[in-house]
Structure formats: C-alpha cells, structure tokens
A = this chain, B = another copy of it.
Amino acid sequence: MALLAGDGLLTEAFRLMAGTSGVDPRSLLRVIHLVGSAAGYQGMVGGQVVDIQSEGKPVDRALVDFIHSHKTGALIHASVTSGAILGQGTEEQVKAISFYGEKIGLAFQIADDILDVEGDSKTMGKGVGGDASKKKITFPAAVGLQKAKEIQSRLVEDAVGALKGFDEKADPLRSLAVYIIERKK
C-alpha cells in the first residue's frame, strides 16, 4: 500500500502539472520535462541510488557533490527554474535563475549537513549527530566542517551574484539564499 501511495502521488504530480490552465503550453511542457529530469534517474532518484550504494564507503568531495546536487539540489533547482520559465523570462533570465537554483540547492543540503553536526536538537525538532553515527555521506565528513562552511558561503555568494541583472522583485530570492546559511533549523 505504501508503494502504491508513492506511485499514485508521483503520477498525480505530473497529471496536475499537465492539467494546469492559463499558461503557455510550450513552457508548461518544458517545465514538466525539467521536473521529470530533476525527480527521475537523472536527478533525485539517481542521487538516492548513489547515496545507498555509497554508505559506509570512503567519502570524497566529488561523491558528496554528486549525491547532494542530485538528491536535493535538482528539485530545488527545478522549482526555481520552473518559475522563470512559466513567468516567460528571457532565455538569459532563465539561465541566470537556473544557475541561482543550482547553487542554493547544493548550499541547502550542505547547511543541512552542518546543522546535523552543530545544530541544537531542541531548535531542530529532530535528533542531531545522526549522520555521522550512520556514516552518511556529508560535506563535513568529506572536506571538514570549516571547509564545508566556506563552500557553502561561496555557493550563496555565487547564487546572489547570478541575480545581478534583476531588480528588487528578486529580493525574496536573495533573502532566501542568505536564509539558507543563517537558518538554525
């Protein structure tokens, strides 16, 4: 039943997208294609497979980069980029937002890893330190805590930098990028 619920919900997401009215049909197809790439074997599913296969193995930067950008990053990237496409952004704007989404997607997951090491379990509302004890593939495990924080800050800088062509309408995206680093839960 759990498996069927998953299949039902996954299918329903695509059905709902395809039934969206009031948007340009070509843009909508592009978004469905993008979400399919982000959710499927080229994205989240692929990242999850590599994550499972890698548990307990030595962690390096390339591996953790791959897992994080596919497992979590791809869907965040697709969400942000979909907005740019459906909002009829120019190709240049879509490209800039896409770059932004890629960077914050990865930054979000690194922040999650760091919170698992440093976070307060009361604030988080869940246990911390679980990743290390489960030998999960994390950025702190791959490159150390300090370096993980540097990479994270750099990603957020790059993300905000990609928005330089946008006016104050993009401020929520700028705040979101900064919030990723500053969040405590």
Contacts and interface: CB of A to CB of B under 8 A. Distances in A.
Copies assembled: 2
A39 B18 contact: no
Given A4-B48, A11-B14, 17 more contacts: A1-B49, A3-B3, A4-B45, A4-B52, A7-B7, A10-B10, A11-B41, A12-B36, A12-B40, A14-B32, A15-B32, A17-B32, A18-B30, A19-B29, A19-B33, A25-B28, A28-B29
Contacts of A12: 36, 40-41
A37 interface: yes
Interface in A23-47: 25-26, 28-30, 32-33, 36-37, 39-41, 45-46
A48 B3 CA distance: 11
B11 A39 contact: yes
By size class, the interface of chain A is: 20 to 34
B39 A1 contact: no
Nearest to A33: B18
